[in-house]
Structure 1
Amino acid sequence: MIVRILFAVVAVLTVAVLAVLSWPQGFGLEHSIVIAQVVAFRPVLALAAVVLAVLLLAGMLVARRTRGLFGFLTVVLLLFAGGQAAVLATRGWVPDAGHAGASETATDDDIVVLSWNTLGGAADAASIAGLALRLGADVVTLPETPESTATEVAALMTAGGKPVWAHTSSHGDYLSLSTSILVSTALGEYAVNDTFGDTGTLPSIVVSPVNGDGPTLAAVHPVAPTPDDLEGWRTDLDWVNRLCQTPNLIVAGDFNSTLDHLTGIGDCRDAALTAGTAALGSWPTWLPALVGTPIDHVLTTGGWRVVSAEVIQSEDGTGSDHRPITATLARE
């Protein structure tokens, strides 16, 4: 009798935990410790569930008394793995989808956005500028990129025929405590807009057109949701939520959050989700994009249509632990 009760408790707890991990938003737990970190790696969760299911199947062959429990847990784990795959499929994880495979190409009226966390400038200015010029980027957001690197990138882009304005915000002397944004001069003159405030530990920067004609642009970098910084991360996401109430906004950067965490972000829409590439991981580069976590984003509010979006996998050897992402946006 006691054994049956214990088995029932194990079964109920397992179902409850897997239900929360499948859709933490439904329980309001997407910003909770442990869950916030674990749910960021849905592909890994799916693979781990399959491995555990196989081990339980093997255990059923040698453990007669626990065969019923093991069989039940095997079915539950396989359903959980299938659920993770279904969520990722709805977000899109086709490797060659996005910018390179889009049926439409950028026109003169479109805005091409490039975002790349360069790990304190570990990805050098030549690599950043070269990629920006190949993409024809009009807006380049660069978390963890100091002013010196941003200035060099701007000079290289100008020499390559794409002159840009460069702006940087810093929260200290460490290279990783800087966020830069480059804006094509073809979009007009832009200046830093301090009225929006800032994220906490790591800097974000918002720029607005001097003549008032054009989108508000932002490069953002909420802190990572480590146990010590969890409250700061939540506060940073609240700031992003307020920023996303701005009309005609384009915001990009390292959000340290997946779509599971970006709930209630005002009127912002995720470009990769629209383009069907939102399940491809931008971090870390040592994991394949199909397994990594998509924490870098390009978001827009009204007035913009997503032509394409891509996680760029050709720059994994340039030094950063993040992959660059790009999105092409057309005016509606």
Structure 2
Amino acid sequence: MVDTEVRKRRRVGGGAMSAFIVLLTIAFLLAAGLRLLGIDGTRYMIATTALTPYTTAAGVILGCLALLLRRWAAGTVVLLVAVVLVAAVAPRAFPDSRPNGVGTALRVMSINMLAGQANPTAIVNAIRNNQVDVLTLQELTTQAVTALDNAGLRDLLPNRVFQADPTASGSGIASRYPLTAKSLTPPATMRQPAALVDLPGKQDIEVIAVHTLPPTAPEGPETWQRELAGLPTRDLNGPPRILAGDFNATLDHVGLRRLLLNGYVDAADETGAGLAPTWPATTFWPPPVTIDHVLVDNRCPVDTYATITIPGSDHRAVVTQFVVPAP
């Protein structure tokens, strides 16, 4: 009888604490299940999946806390699931081995201009400082084109395939090298121009400025899924292909993972920066997530990746260098 009373006293918090741990466990398992089972579903489910790195950290903490409080069943289950999530998320923080590649080094930068409000001088300075060869722009307004040219964009990247718009739906590609406009995606809510970049030598490259509709919009989930599915996979019979822009998706979403299984690598993930958030750029709510990407044809070894704060935009610019192999 005494031993039983001692054991009960050791369970800190009693029944109320047990109920609280159970509720937290259920919430964690539901969030983890969305990621592990590949369920995008509603906009709330999609937003929850975007927070998978935070869910993973919370699961580790919750599991350890539950074991510390002697809630053995809850702690064991939570930690086991958390370990599976860690195995999926943690590798993004470590660089992958880089294969040897001989060819043309190319630097690509992408920035969402927040309906043209991003500071044009800051963008041009980032292009100059990072020696950018190809730039993709999302939410490119007609007024922003004029502002960028006044800041010196045309002097640095004189070739362009722009589909600017008075609203936030415009996008564009600017390049140091000649461009030929192409049509590589079906019609979408936002403009998604594509171009063949005529690089020095025999090997060229295709670039698509990606901007899918945010899935958190009321009409967003189905449209977002359809637009992600409409992005082209790698073409082994054609030039290497690059998808750069605002995917409104993280590496935990099914649509983006499907692209990575079809011939692309994520430049941030390749260089150990896969957990570096890109949106929102300057606030901590909602929790920052990584939704801007440069997906590189896996025939192209990735060298570097960085994010850059651009005043006036709620997204951080992303810039990467990779090698376009000789044919």
TM range (shorter): 0.7 to 0.9
Q: Which residue of 2 aligns with 1:17?
A: 30
Is 1:237 the counterpart of 2:247 in the alignment? no
For the residue of structure 1 that corresponds to 2:226, the secondary structure is helix
The Cα of 1:152 is off from its aligned counterpart by 3.7
Is 1:324 the counterpart of 2:317 in the alignment? yes
Cα distance in 2 for residues equivalent to 1:29 and 1:234: 12
Q: Which residue of 2 aligns with 1:164?
A: 158
Cα distance in 2 for residues equivalent to 1:293 and 1:12: 23
Q: Which residue of 1 aligns with 2:110?
A: 115
- The 5-angstrom pairing of residues 68-147 of structure 1 reads 70-92=71-93, 109-147=104-142
The AA in structure 2 aligned to 1:138 is D
Match of 1:255 among 247, 251, 269: 247
1:244-290 deviations in Å (ceiling 9; x for gaps): 4464112200001111221221322211111111111111113469x
Cα distance in 2 for residues equivalent to 1:88 and 1:54: 19
For the residue of structure 2 that corresponds to 1:218, the secondary structure is strand
Cα distance in 2 for residues equivalent to 1:325 and 1:148: 23
Where structure 1 has 5 or more consecutive residues not aligned to the other structure, the ranges are 61-67
Cα contact 2:28–2:55 (8 A) shared by 1: no
The Cα of 1:199 is off from its aligned counterpart by 4.7
Cα contact 1:253–1:297 (8 A) shared by 2: yes
Cα distance in 1 for residues equivalent to 2:115 and 2:27: 41
The Cα of 1:72 is off from its aligned counterpart by 2.7
Where structure 2 has 5 or more consecutive residues not aligned to the other structure, the ranges are 1-14
For the residue of structure 1 that corresponds to 2:118, the secondary structure is coil
Cα contact 1:167–1:180 (8 A) shared by 2: yes
Cα distance in 1 for residues equivalent to 2:166 and 2:268: 33
Using the size of structure 2 for normalisation, the TM-score is: 0.75
The Cα of 1:118 is off from its aligned counterpart by 1.4
Cα contact 1:309–1:325 (8 A) shared by 2: yes
Cα distance in 2 for residues equivalent to 1:224 and 1:256: 6
Is 1:278 the counterpart of 2:274 in the alignment? yes
Change in CA separation of 1:269 and 1:53 when aligned onto 2, cut-off 3 Å = closer
The AA in structure 1 aligned to 2:290 is P
Q: Which residue of 2 aligns with 1:36?
A: 46
Using the size of structure 1 for normalisation, the TM-score is: 0.74
The AA in structure 2 aligned to 1:231 is E
For the residue of structure 2 that corresponds to 1:252, the secondary structure is strand
For the residue of structure 2 that corresponds to 1:231, the secondary structure is helix
The Cα of 1:148 is off from its aligned counterpart by 3.3
**Identity percentage over the alignment?**
25
The two structures, once aligned, show a CA RMSD in angstroms of: 3.6
